[in-house]
Structure 1
Amino acid sequence: MKIIYTFALSLLLLTSCNNGKDQRIISASNGNINNLLVVVDNLLWDDSVGETIRDVVAAPVPALNQEEPLFSLNQMPPAVFDGFATRSRTILKIEKGGPAGVVIKNDVYARPQTVVVVSGKTDQEIKDELESNSDKIIAAFKKEELKENQRRIKKSLMDDKPLQEALGVKLNFQTAYRIAKQDEDFFWIRKQIPTGTMDIMIYEVPLHTIKKGDSAIIDIVRMRDSIGKVHIPGPVEGSYMITEDAYTPYLSETELDGKFTYETKGIWDVKNAFMSGPFINYAIEDKANDRFLVIEGYVFAPSVEKRNNIFEMEAIIKSVKIL
């Protein structure tokens, strides 16, 4: 019996090693959303290399009404990078001595995981690589965090059938949200948080509402202000949500659900009242239905950090599917 058992075990090991796929047993990754582990020598961290790292991955998030970093950083020297630390979901490693370059790796020590390795023979080479590849590095980490946020959201999904029936839209959002208002082609979805609320608006406007070109941002601001006046009242009579005119919103172009989309980030305000906060607005060009489908997330949470709130709503919005 012992001989048979040994033979069976050997056969199992042999089969596992020769099936052409990576059969490593890999641990689950860990970490808070938008927390980044930086593995770098203490001397480099305290010098100009550390300053460049902070300038790149801890730069202020655009369009927040208070300064917050893109990622919260935890630094660790390579000598103690072992065990539990290696299972961080996002890791930036700085390696001095090798050829200059940036390598992005996935699931190196845990799964899911993104590891970015920046190398150079000198401090200046490392700084140059960080600066010239900053967009690529940030995009890699944001992609990983977006997937993680969406994975957590899927654990407790709200029934979005009303959205499907009224607007032909499927959207993943948690049961912590509730539909506060439904008015024909307009939805106002809210989530209470200890310091205020997180809100999502979903509506449609005709395609001609937003004209491509230099006037797009003007059209988007006019659109959202008109929606705010009708649907989002303020705390006193005659008050309603508008776009803060002291700050020009950030406008970029992207794709959602395979469709051309305007992404607008800015600060909302309430006319005739002292309330404000950040918003992120996506106007999706839906030619098949002769409309822009607009989904916006905004936060009201005075005097507290709002980066992760906005990022959660970005993850929700980017799950959109037009049926």
Structure 2
Amino acid sequence: MKKFGTLCFTIFLLVGISCGDSGPKQRFLPPSTGGINSLMVVMDTELWKGGIGDKVREHFAAPILGLPRAEPKFTITQIPPQVFKGATAYSRSVLFVEQDSVSAAHIKTNMYAKPQKIAVVTGETYNDLAGNLDSIAGMAIAAFKKVEIAEAQRRFTRSLTKETAFEDEFGISLKVPSLYTVGKHEDNFVWMDIQIPKGSMNILAYEMPWDSFATDSTFVQDIVKMRDSIGKKYIPGPYDGTYMITEKAFSPYVFPALVGGKKAAETRGTWEIEGYPMAGPFVTYIINDKENNRKMVLEGFAFAPNEEKRDYMFQLEAILKTVEFKSGP
């Protein structure tokens, strides 16, 4: 029989009140903790070592699309439920999985700290738990990513650049960390970058005509053509005649997105240098800015040979998603 304390803890997670409370109470919530893209998985160690743990890893440690080598969506730390208390419960992103007669899968907000998302999955059998994990995984990953993006933005907005190149050229604002500098500002093109160990992180902005992408059937090819033409014109390689292109071997991934309150296409893939062995990941947002009769293009790319690139690309994504559209270019 399940101990009352554990059952009470599960019910607390399910309904959001503690045992003995007569109703919700206003209480102080400490700031949440954890590294960016870290996920605390609270589940029995035996479950973690078995098929349910495999199911958790299948969803939450799956490789991120568009990176040159496999890196997981989240860095996972697993602890048993009895350890999830005190400061450990302040983790920002939490997945709680427990075998229980109650079958449930939902997401709670700011239960022990703020900001915080806790995905709760319970079930009596393997099939119950596996099915509930499958049903909640997409929503939980989206919720975790949203809170992680917000935390990344909170951290870098402590010190922002005073450069106004994006606003001057395109009528947009971006919250860019102060260490980024303008590397190139030409008609319809702005490039800011920052040096990192062994490489750089880069932000690009340019605009395309509203009718640049004629049909859905050629959308991906048109994106590649656009990126390659911009690379040839503005982004040289280390030697004459070399320049940035989209990796030839694999087509980029394209997803719908919402950026700056506007519909957009998110493109992820790998860039390379034509005629020279350099490469790295990129994320591009093609934003429908109908008010200004244009497609506003924002891109982040990283060069960090022999380094993990997930967190570099995540920060670039967080920066690009701070875009705000002013009155116009």
Scaled by the length of structure 2, what TM-score is found?
0.90
CA-atom RMSD in angstroms: 1.3
1:106 match: 109
The match for 1:172 among 162, 175, 180 is 175
Displacement after TM superposition at 1:141 (Å) = 0.6
Give yes or no for contact 2:236–2:242 (8 Å, CA) kept in 1.
yes
Rg bigger for which structure? 1
1:142 aligns with 2:161: no
Give yes or no for contact 1:205–1:291 (8 Å, CA) kept in 2.
yes
1:202 match: 205
1:182 aligns with 2:205: no
1:3 match: none
1:258 aligns with 2:261: yes
2:306 match: 303
Structure 1 stretches lacking a partner, 5+ long: 1-19
Distance in 2 (alpha carbons) for counterparts of 1:98 and 1:268: 50
The aligned amino acid for 2:233 is V
Q: Would you identify which runs of 4 or more consecutive aligned residues in structure 1 move more than 4 Å?
A: none
Identity %: 41
1:246 aligns with 2:249: yes
Deviations 1:37-77 (A, max 9, x none): 00000110011010100001000000100110000000000
1:292 match: 295
The aligned amino acid for 1:308 is D
1:272 aligns with 2:275: yes
Displacement after TM superposition at 1:213 (Å) = 1.1
Distance in 1 (alpha carbons) for counterparts of 2:174 and 2:49: 44
SS at match of 1:208: coil
SS at match of 1:174: coil
The aligned amino acid for 2:317 is E
The match for 2:41 among 38, 41, 45 is 38
Give yes or no for contact 1:160–1:172 (8 Å, CA) kept in 2.
no
Distance in 1 (alpha carbons) for counterparts of 2:309 and 2:203: 15
Displacement after TM superposition at 1:23 (Å) = 2.6
Displacement after TM superposition at 1:160 (Å) = 4.1
2:51 match: 48
Deviations 1:304-323 (A, max 9, x none): 10001101011111111111
The aligned amino acid for 1:79 is Q
Deviations 1:1-49 (A, max 9, x none): xxxxxxxxxxxxxxxxxxx995301111111000100000011001101
Displacement after TM superposition at 1:161 (Å) = 2.2
SS at match of 2:216: coil
Distance in 1 (alpha carbons) for counterparts of 2:43 and 2:37: 19
- Counterparts in 2 of 1:213 and 1:307: CA distance versus 1, 3 Å: same
SS at match of 2:158: helix
Give yes or no for contact 2:39–2:93 (8 Å, CA) kept in 1.
yes
Deviations 1:218-265 (A, max 9, x none): 111100100000100001110000000111110111221222211100
Distance in 1 (alpha carbons) for counterparts of 2:102 and 2:299: 44
The aligned amino acid for 1:299 is A
2:80 match: 77
Give yes or no for contact 1:297–1:314 (8 Å, CA) kept in 2.
yes
1:57 aligns with 2:60: yes
Displacement after TM superposition at 1:162 (Å) = 2.3
Distance in 2 (alpha carbons) for counterparts of 1:47 and 1:162: 53
Distance in 1 (alpha carbons) for counterparts of 2:190 and 2:101: 54
Give yes or no for contact 2:90–2:113 (8 Å, CA) kept in 1.
yes
